[in-house]
Amino acid sequence: MSENTERGWLPDFVLINGEIKSGTAFFADESGIIKRFSQAPADLAGAQRLEGRAVLPGLVNVHSHTFQRVIRGRTEWRNRGQRDTFWTWREKMYDAATRLTPEQIYQTAKAAFLEMLLSGITTVGEFHYLHHQANGNRYSDPNLIGKLVIQAAREVGLRIVLLRTAYLRAGYGKSPNPGQTRFITHDAGTFISDTEELSSWVKKFRFRGEAEVGVAPHSVRAVTRDYLLEIADYARQQKLCLHMHVSEQPGENEACIQEYGVSPVTWLERMGLLSPRFTAVHAIHISETEAGFLADSGSSICACPTSERNLADGAVRADWLLARGANICLGSDSQIQIDLLEDARLLEYHLRMQQLERVVLDPAAPGRERLSHVLYETASKSGAKSLRQNVGELAVGKPADFVGIDLDDLSVAGASPEMSLANVVFSLERTAIKDVYVGGRCVVADGRHPLQGNITAEFKGVQKELWGDSR
């Protein structure tokens, strides 16, 4: 390929291999893949100058339920005489899930994906379980809604791994819950054939690198042993990532102990399901031994701290996990906030409040910005590992997915180069995120997306239709 097909960028600072560098340009080919870094005067002169910008790898949001964006702020009151918990919140969420139309789901997904891009997220794992009509009947195209969600991501401009979610039952020994009717696929064979059809559709339209498919048994409580094993075997044969809600609530552990005699992580370890393709979402209520099971198997753990604090789930034991070398990544989950850097800092802050000690996740502190690098990687490189995507860092052979930070934004202004990442991780406000590139293509420029006005107006219409808001 000739040099004429290259495109290059020269920011004030760029994060490469965990090091903040200045005077360095990077270049991508016409397909958006980074080909080289250079400090040669001719290359610096030929690159697009990103003045006043620090460039960091695009963020990876591993766990998202976009449809839940419609209930933001609508569950923040207590029903009279009732203790409010995750389980009561869930019933309010089901109310929205049963009423959304495919078009509303599509418009809501666009709004959530747009908010992700504006916060620096360039890749998302969408844990998708709204498969059917509200009465449980299948659409003529069983992947109608999944395809709409993928199209929403492509229209907005970020990469997506649609984690097609398997749901069979309300829980061990429980009667069916009407709020889950849209989620249920009654046999694993049908779930697998539907997933195969969606994978074929993605391949047909050559979405590789822009959209891919994974599988996600919802939780131990939502599937039986045989159903889970059949889906897990399919994922292994197809080399797909396998994600699962695990130990988000003590009630999940209690139900698993009742059914299988042990808590979820221990049971998954005994079943041989933990592996580098497996991601345990939440994994809050685990033991130190179970933290070892997850780390030793190469599994990822997806923490969702902004959502988990809102739902009163508890705090992830990131200290146990990182001490054992586990791969921790992050997700926006219920969309109460979409801010992965806030999620990253909460990994540390939750532990500080519990242990009354600072810098918990880097007790030896061998480098001035080591903790900042660790936390930034949970929001980027570690997420790419969980989703099995070739993103999450700026390196030769990887897509030019990056975020341009305004160094004059008051939240980071005055930071020296050696302290710039700590300022980003611990203090950055979203007002500082000005430019977002996916595959070398600018999708957010100076803090604005070209479709922002239309998408926002559509989403406001969805909210009015659902809730009768007058605004």
pLDDT tens digits, one per residue of 307-338:
999 999 999 999 999 999 999 999 999 999 99
**Residues 222, 363 within the same domain:** yes
- For residue 1, pLDDT beyond 80: no
Residues 177-206 have a mean pLDDT of 96
pLDDT of residue 82: 79
**Residues 433, 323 within the same domain:** no
Residues 165-183 have a mean pLDDT of 95
> Using one digit for the tens of pLDDT, what is the confidence trace for 421-464?
999 999 999 999 999 999 999 999 999 999 999 999 999 999 99
pLDDT of residue 363: 66
> Using one digit for the tens of pLDDT, what is the confidence trace for 196-212?
999 999 999 877 789 99
Q: Is residue 461 part of a domain?
A: no
**Of 277, 298, 203, 204, whose CA–CA distance to 234 is shortest?**
277
Angle between the N-to-C axes of helices 340-355 and 370-378, in degrees from 0 to 180, rounded to the nearest 10? 120
177 — pLDDT class (breaks 50, 70, 90): very high
pLDDT of residue 369: 74
Residues 227-254 have a mean pLDDT of 98
Look at residues 387, 404, 437 and tell me which one is the last residue of a structural domain: 387
pLDDT of residue 376: 97
**Residues 348, 204 within the same domain:** yes
**Residues 42, 77 within the same domain:** no
pLDDT of residue 79: 78
139 — pLDDT class (breaks 50, 70, 90): very high
> Using one digit for the tens of pLDDT, what is the confidence trace for 328-369?
999 999 999 999 999 999 999 999 999 999 999 986 656 667
Q: Is residue 468 part of a domain?
A: no
**Residues 179, 229 within the same domain:** yes
> Using one digit for the tens of pLDDT, what is the confidence trace for 256-309?
999 999 999 999 999 999 999 999 999 999 999 999 999 999 999 999 999 999
**Residues 149, 225 within the same domain:** yes
**Residues 406, 376 within the same domain:** no
d(CA 268, CA 246): 10
Report the greatest alpha carbon distance in the chain: 71
pLDDT of residue 469: 61
Percent of the chain predicted with pLDDT > 70: 97
Q: Is residue 229 part of a domain?
A: yes
Residues 169-190 have a mean pLDDT of 95
d(CA 218, CA 127): 9
Residues 40-63 have a mean pLDDT of 98
**Of 319, 260, 271, whose CA–CA distance to 297 is shortest?**
271
pLDDT of residue 417: 85
| Domain region containing 420 | 3-56+393-452
Look at residues 387, 404, 439 and tell me which one is the last residue of a structural domain: 387
**Of 24, 20, 18, whose CA–CA distance to 50 is shortest?**
24
**Of 168, 134, 164, whose CA–CA distance to 150 is shortest?**
164
**Residues 319, 405 within the same domain:** no
Angle between the N-to-C axes of helices 144-156 and 102-118, in degrees from 0 to 180, rounded to the nearest 10? 30
* CATH label of the domain that carries residue 408: 2.30.40.10
**Residues 24, 88 within the same domain:** no
pLDDT of residue 470: 44
How many domains does one find in the chain? 2
CA 34 and chain centroid, separation: 23
**Residues 304, 412 within the same domain:** no
Catalytic sites, residue numbers: 282, 333
Of 317 and 416, more confident: 317
**Residues 448, 342 within the same domain:** no
**Residues 95, 165 within the same domain:** yes
Task: Give the count of alpha carbons within 13 A of 386, CB side only.
Answer: 37
Look at residues 362, 387, 412 and tell me which one is the last residue of a structural domain: 387
**Average pLDDT over the chain, rounded to whole?**
95
Q: Is residue 457 part of a domain?
A: no
